[in-house]
Amino acid sequence: MTEVPEPGELAIHTSGLGKSFGKRRVVNDLDLAVPRGSVFGFLGPNGSGKTTTIRMLLGLAAPDSGSISLLSESMPGAASRVLPRVGSLIEGPAFYPFLSGRANLVRFDSADRTSDASTRTRRVDAALEKVGLGKAARLAVHAYSLGMKQRLGIANALVTERELLVLDEPTNGLDPHGTREVRHLIRALAAEGTTVFVSSHLLSEVEQMCSHVAVMSVGNLVAQGRLEELRAEGKRMVTLRTPDTGVAMAVLSRLGLEARLDAVPAGEDGVLAAALGNGAPEPERLVEELVAAGVRVRGFTVQAASLEERFVALTGEGFDLVQ
C-alpha cells in the first residue's frame, strides 16, 4: 500500500516475525512498519495473532523467528534501555483492589528503577487528571467500574513520559463519554510526538483516531499503510432514492452496475445501492442517464469504502462497529 519509511523513521519495525504454539502457527512472517508519531491501528478478528504480536514486541513472549526493533533498537537485547521509554496496557489492567487508584500508581512507579522519586507525586497526579480520574484518585480500586479501571491502566502507562504507547483494546468497557475522552487523549499524545500503537476491534473508533492501520488475518499481515489509502482501495458505493425503482434498476444494469433494492414501504420511495467498481461510469454520468430515462431522482449520494467493508474484503469476517 504505502512506501515503507526508513528504519530510523519507525517506532516499531519487525521482519519475518513468527510464533507457534505447538503445531499451530499463530504469527507468520510478520513485517510491521509503524511510523514515529503515528496513531497506528492494529486490526484483526479474534485469534488473528494481535495479542501474541504485542506480547512479542514487549518481550513478554519469545518469537520463534524474525527480528523486532523498537525505537530503532533491537529487541530483546536492548530491552533495559528501550522499555522505560515504552508505556503499555495489555490484556486489561491489574491493580491492588483495596488500595486507591493513586496509591496503586505510586506503588507501580516506585517499582520502576528508572523513575524519578522527586517528581513522582506530580507525575501521578498529572496522569490521573489526563484520564479523568482526578476526583476518584483516592477511591479504592475495588469500587471502580470496568471503564474506570481501564482508564487507570492508561494512566499507569502515562506516569512516565513515553515515546511509544502500546494499548490493547484501550476503550474496552468504557461508556460513550469515556470512549470519546480516551480517543481525544490518544490524539493529544500523538500531537505531542508520542507514537500510539492501538489494538482494537472497534472499527468506528479506529477510523476516528488512527492515521495508519495494519490488518491481520489468521496470523498473516494482509494490509498495512495509511488509513485513507486502505479505504481508497475499496469500491465506492452509490445510493439512489427514487419512486421509479424498476426503470432505475434497468438503467444501472445497462451501465454495468449490480444494484440491490431495499424493501420499499407502501407509498414511499425505494432505495437502491450499487458499488462503483473498476470501469464504472462517473456519478455525474449515472445521474444524467437516470434522468434521461425518466427516473425521478430524489436522492443520490456517493460514499467511499468504509473500513468495515475493506476489513471484510481482506479477511472475510465481520467486525463490531459500535461498543
The domain spans of the chain are 7-227, 235-303
Q: Which residue carries 489468521 as its cell?
A: 218
Confidence of residue 320 (pLDDT cuts 50, 70, 90): very low
pLDDT at 44: 84
pLDDT value at 75 more than 70:
yes
Q: Is 63 exposed, middle or buried (0-12, 13-18, 19+ CB in 10 A)?
A: buried
Pair 106, 117: CB distance under 8 Å: no
Which range scores top for mean pLDDT: 28-42, 220-234, 287-301, 305-319? 28-42
Q: Architecture of domain 7-227 in CATH?
A: 3-Layer(aba) Sandwich (3.40)
- Residues with Cβ within 8 Å of 177's Cβ and at least 6 positions away in sequence, in order, are none
At which residue does the C-alpha cell 519495525 appear? 13
Does residue 295 contact residue 251 with C-beta atoms inside 8 Å? Answer: yes
Contact 255, 83 (CB under 8 A): no
Confidence of residue 281 (pLDDT cuts 50, 70, 90): confident
Q: Using CA atoms, how far apart are residues 225 and 184, in angstroms rounded to an integer?
A: 22
Just give the CATH number of 235-303: 3.30.70.980
Mean pLDDT of 273-285: 76
Confidence of residue 257 (pLDDT cuts 50, 70, 90): confident
Which cell is 53 given?
504480536
| Residue 305: per-residue pLDDT | 63
Contact assessment for residue 65 and residue 6, using Cβ atoms and an 8 Å cutoff: no
Q: What is the per-residue pLDDT for 319?
A: 45
Dihedral sign computed on CA atoms, order 141, 142, 148, 152: positive
Residue 233: predicted pLDDT: 66
pLDDT for 174 = 76
Taking the C-alpha atoms of residue 173 and residue 181, their distance in angstroms, rounded to an integer, is 13
pLDDT tier at 271, thresholds 50, 70, 90? confident
